[in-house]
Structure 1
């Protein structure tokens, strides 16, 4: 009998240990969204927006106000709501006043139409593209593809360029590791629907940057967001990049959890 009771007690203790381990795993906070990475000797910061944990929106400035023009202005402008932010980056081409020059939708309100004009500069290195989404589903499409297939206005959208990766292939005008090297940031969406935001911590070529999205992050489509002014706000580490004035901002926030 004593042997039987000892065996039952051991089983009960093992069950309690498993329950505690399960509870601890459930209570453990998720890992921070941003982490350091290195690709071909270039340091990067890689941030992941997961639809199960985050929401994404784009912001120009306060309602009926001028554009924020910096991530620190955004942080101040959000006030107590800043605690919701997982991270934020700049993303989308803009004019001297910080207003978008390409497709831009904020809170389902379209403030600029799709721009497929010819011109100079990175934005017009065709194809350029759009990062957009609704209801926790996010995507990157080349602008012509977006025009042909996206008929319902998304909740958010921002146009930039050039595309980095197009249906699994690098932009046709990129060299493998060309001479144009600057700080750069971009976004790609993987097959699980997660949005990967990357900012280089050292100058990087378009070709190398694009290969990181294709080969390491496995994002079939990825979009260049900006160059020398690339900026990140990472509340987890207290990082708020400064620099030249910005335009559209992409804000990733922690998804609100309903109370039990």
Structure 2
């Protein structure tokens, strides 16, 4: 049975929901909104320490694939889910801010540009700061410099304080498989989503705002968007990625 979005949104509001997944695993489910299908993975505040950003391997080279990410894990660790987590240059290095375990690996970029990343306002997904999860507009982030255990910058913002990005068009013909992240209003849940089929920015933004009730959401990427989620039998392959975010479960 396909889960309904009102029930899933209730999880973000703090209501308990039964799950058959192991303790510590992300709850990934297939959902529908306005005739479009998505896979949605929920990470709760208690799971924030298990969330990881992956960029380079021990040899200093970008990991690029879920298979390479899995090879970095310890013998008692399992990758519960993962997806690409931001835009990258031709060498697979991040375009904007990347913070891994409190260490800044790439600086924030606040200027506008013609690509999706520079379609201002763009934003930063931050974990482990004042709230477990936050999506913060990039210029506000650069001014405030909040503490983050993990942070990844991308753009554009999908939802900004409850409003869709002002440049999204209802009748746009630009459609891609897209992925991104939204944060519950109380900061206690992060929703990671990817569309099953090509969608517009407007459709994707409405999924977060209207379907999940989030007030802030960030676009990670399109066309190269990939998901690893064994709980829904997804292990996408193909094009290489830059930053990758995933939840790591401790076995046993």
The TM-score, its normalising length taken from structure 1, stands at: 0.81
The 4+ residue runs of structure 1 with deviation greater than 6 A are none
Against the structure 1 CA distance between its residues 181 and 239, is the aligned structure 2 distance closer, same or farther, given a 3 Å change threshold? same
Larger Rg: 1
Partner of 2:15: none
- What is aligned with 2:142? 147
Structure number having the greater helix percentage: 1
The answer to whether 1:63 aligns with 2:58 is yes
Is contact 1:140-1:189 (8 Å) kept? Answer: yes
- Take 1:48 and 1:168, find their aligned partners in 2: how far apart are those partners? 20
Determine the structure 1 residue equivalent to 2:236.
241
Query: Does residue 166 of structure 2 align to residue 172 of structure 1?
Result: yes
User: Could you list the per-position Cα deviations for residues 44-95 of structure 1 after superposition, in whole angstroms to 9, with x for gaps in the alignment?
Assistant: 1011011124532211022342111111221233253542x22111011111
Within 1, Cα distance between the matches of 2:178 and 2:39? 11
After superposition, the Cα gap between the structure-2 partners of 1:211 and 1:177, relative to the gap in structure 1 and judged at 3 Å, is farther
Q: Would the aligned equivalents of 2:156 and 2:219 in 1 still touch at CA under 8 Å?
A: yes
What does 1:64-79 align with in structure 2 at a 5 Å threshold? 64-78=59-73
1:1-260 maps to which residues of 2 (within 5 A)? 33-54=27-48, 55-78=50-73, 80-83=75-78, 85-134=79-128, 137-152=132-147, 154-192=148-186, 193-254=188-249
What root-mean-square deviation, in Å, do the aligned CA atoms of Structure 1 and Structure 2 show? 2.4
Residue 251 of structure 1: how far off its partner (Å): 1.3
Q: Which residue of 1 aligns with 2:6?
A: none
Note the residue ranges of structure 1 that are not aligned, 5 or more in a row.
Answer: 1-24
Kindly indicate whether the alpha-carbon contact (under 8 Å) linking 1:128 and 1:161 is maintained by their aligned counterparts in 2. Answer: yes
CA distance in 2 between counterparts of 1:72 and 1:164 reads 29
Instruction: Name the CA distance, whole Å, in 1 between partners of 2:46 and 2:40.
Output: 18
CA contact (8 A) 1:177 1:208 kept: no
Q: What residue ranges of structure 2 are gaps of 5+ in the alignment?
A: 1-17
Q: Please tell me whether the aligned partners of residues 131 and 158 of structure 1 are also in contact (alpha carbons under 8 angstroms).
A: yes
Whole-Å separation in 2 of the counterparts to 1:214 and 1:48 = 16
Contact 2:181 2:220 in 1 (8 A): yes
> Size of the alignment, in residue pairs?
231
